A and B are shown apart, each in its own frame.
Chain A
Amino acid sequence: MLTYLGRRLVQGLAAMAIAITLAFVAMQLAPGDPATALLAASGATQQEVAERRQQLGLDDPLPTQCLRFLADLLRGDLGSSWLHGRPVGKMVVEQAPATIELALAASAIGAALGIGLGVLGATRRGRWCDTLATALAVVSLSTPTYWSGLLAILVFSLRLRWFPSSGAAGLHHLVLPALVLGVALAGSVARLVRVRVAEVLEMPFVTAARARGLPTRRVLAVHVLRPALGPALTVIALQTGFLLGGAVVTESVFARPGLGKLVLDAVLWRDLPVLRGVILVGAAAYTGMNLVADLAVAWLDPRLRERLLPLD
């Protein structure tokens, strides 16, 4: 088991290196120059901009810059943001808690709502309840969070005064953003669960289980859900990974700190050190969540264990 985890870790590091190199290349493609962007509005002369470029190492040949980019990472030196002037590591650590709590809360809500709605639709398939459940799921997955978030603020924060619409100081502040995000995530989960559960319900082993006289709840929970949840778990893991990288729209609408704004600014201002740090976090998040997903699916469905966890 340990060697397996070790192997996944090494593969994860390889994924990080690939992602960071790709990001470096992408930044070269993006138009505009970081030094000019930082200094232009302050009236700096051409010479001063050129000096700043040199200071940031932008005049070195591209392969040198790329290698230095990766080498710094290996040494554990995440560098300082060109835009903020602060160490990248500290900036990421400061913004991470708010992002993590929102990601976990939203994923939990999304998973619970999604699975519930999906099972509801599948167990009443062909009837109006199913179409309604599908409609609800589609509404939630096709409504952008900047719109549903604003609506939630207008109703729950302004009209009803139940919850605050800004800040990250406590549980109270987490409710609205987590709900808005969770509902958005629940839609695709619900759809996948509905389709898979509908398929599994038709299978002979389910009929066999009922024929053996097992109670309905147990048949559903143990015999139906376990094989049906695979793709849904994959999607939940993907979405959690995505949220751990920062949900910039929700952070903006609910005035919360988080990694999303960090990413956005880094891309818009061509702030390479911050971009490198953020991609590191993102790659780690996805590698971790995909590992969790694979482990969860292997635990749920014994038939897949040998394939997913080659322990030898």
Chain B
Amino acid sequence: MRDEDLSITWYAPRPRPLWRQGSALAAVVWLGIVGGSALLAPWLAPGGTLAADPARRLLPPGPSAWLGTDALGRDVLARLVWGGRWTLQMGLLGLSVAVGLGLPMGMAAGLAGPWLDAVLMRLTDALLAFPGLLLAMSVVALTGPGLLPVALAAGLAAAPSYARVARSAALEVRSQPYIEAAFAIGAGPWRILRRHILPNAAGALLSFAAAQLGWVLLTGAALNFLGLGGPPGTPEWGAMLAAGRGFLRDAPWASVFPGLALTLTVLAAHLLSDGVLEALRARR
């Protein structure tokens, strides 16, 4: 069977630096739009978005509301712009906690001896078995209510998964012969970690981090749904998606547009992570 029949790319095209990659640039542009509009929200959509106007409910997209209005008469586009603040904050906080806790735990488990590995992995088993809702309630009980404590809880819930994947990636790389060689010539463990292990595990680590961003945002929205989170009516994208869902047949725009915004943002994170990986390879 000839390779041309399966049209497999055996050799990737030459790795390009970040600014030469179309998809990564598009991702940066999108994230810039989201971040920019989040910052400029008071000027782009003045008058806030929390004020409900029952007379204008469920209007389809048109000149008076470019993306339509929701069930309580609020402009969907304005709420998307304001919601970007919440969604970005929640996503970044949750992701930092997940990676900040999960990465060291996973690396330690994968690289240190079997005893530490067992202890850490049983700990992750215990944490994973812990219902996310209960975890979120405990965090909120300690910190007070709000969207950010929910993001913190989502990040804590994501950390054990990230640790497991980081451990798996660490194990893979650690078994490579050049690592043995590095130890043999007397390189210190931190140096090996920095120069050999992390760069080679970067693929799985970055890719799963982008996936966890999506998971954190969705989990935050689900917890919101179950009663934890900010004041009702906060224009967080996940919450808008959940609220608009009941009107899917009559007014799909109320949930489709927030969902699209969410998906595009997570997609941008993934394309960016792929771009960074390629750029890292270009440098070597």
Contacts and interface: CB of A to CB of B under 8 A. Distances in A.
A19 B169 contact: no
Contacts of A308: 171
Contacts of B171: 230, 297, 304, 307-308
Interface residues of A, number: 83
B249 to A, nearest CB: 7
Interface stretch (A52-60, A86-94, A278-286): A278-286
**Range for the number of chain B residues in contact with chain A:** 35 or more
Given A14-B122, A18-B126, A29-B141, A216 B114 contact: no
Given A192-B207, A249-B222, A303-B175, A150 B248 contact: yes
Contacts of B245: 146-147, 150
B177 to A, nearest CB: 9
Nearest to A30: B137
B9 A125 contact: yes
Among B134, B135, B206, chain A packs the most CB atoms within 10 A around the CB of: B134
B162 to A, nearest CB: 10
Contacts of A202: 11-12
Interface in B1-34: 1, 3, 6-13, 23
Contacts of A139: 263, 267
A283 B126 CA distance: 6
Contacts of A126: 9, 12-13
B203 A195 contact: yes
A164 interface: no
Which DSSP category, helix, strand, loop or mixed, fits chain A's interface? helix
Interface string B124-160: 0111111101110110011000000000000000000
A238 B1 CA distance: 37
B238 interface: yes
A83 interface: no
A192 B204 contact: yes
Contacts of A146: 222, 225, 242, 245
Among A31, A142, A278, A308, chain B packs the most CB atoms within 10 A around the CB of: A142
B271 interface: yes
Interface in B168-186: 168-169, 171-172, 174-175
Contacts of A234: 164-165, 167-168
A125 B131 CA distance: 38
Interface of B: 1, 3, 6-13, 23, 114, 118, 121-123, 125-131, 133-135, 137-138, 141-142, 161, 164-165, 167-169, 171-172, 174-175, 203-204, 206-208, 210-211, 214-215, 217-218, 221-222, 225-226, 238, 241-242, 245, 248-249, 255, 259, 262-263, 266-267, 270-271, 274, 277
Give 9 nearest A-B pairs by CB, closest first.
Answer: A282-B129, A283-B129, A188-B211, A303-B175, A18-B126, A19-B126, A15-B125, A26-B138, A142-B266
Given A125-B12, A191-B211, A283-B126, 16 more contacts: A12-B122, A19-B125, A19-B129, A23-B130, A124-B9, A126-B9, A141-B266, A142-B218, A187-B214, A192-B165, A195-B206, A201-B9, A245-B131, A264-B133, A286-B129, A290-B164
Interface of A: 11-12, 14-16, 18-19, 22-23, 25-27, 29-31, 123-127, 131, 134-135, 137-139, 141-144, 146-147, 150-151, 154, 187-188, 191-192, 194-196, 198-199, 201-202, 206-207, 210, 215-217, 220, 227, 230-231, 233-235, 238, 241-242, 245, 249, 263-264, 267, 275, 278-279, 282-283, 285-287, 290, 297, 301, 303-304, 307-308, 310
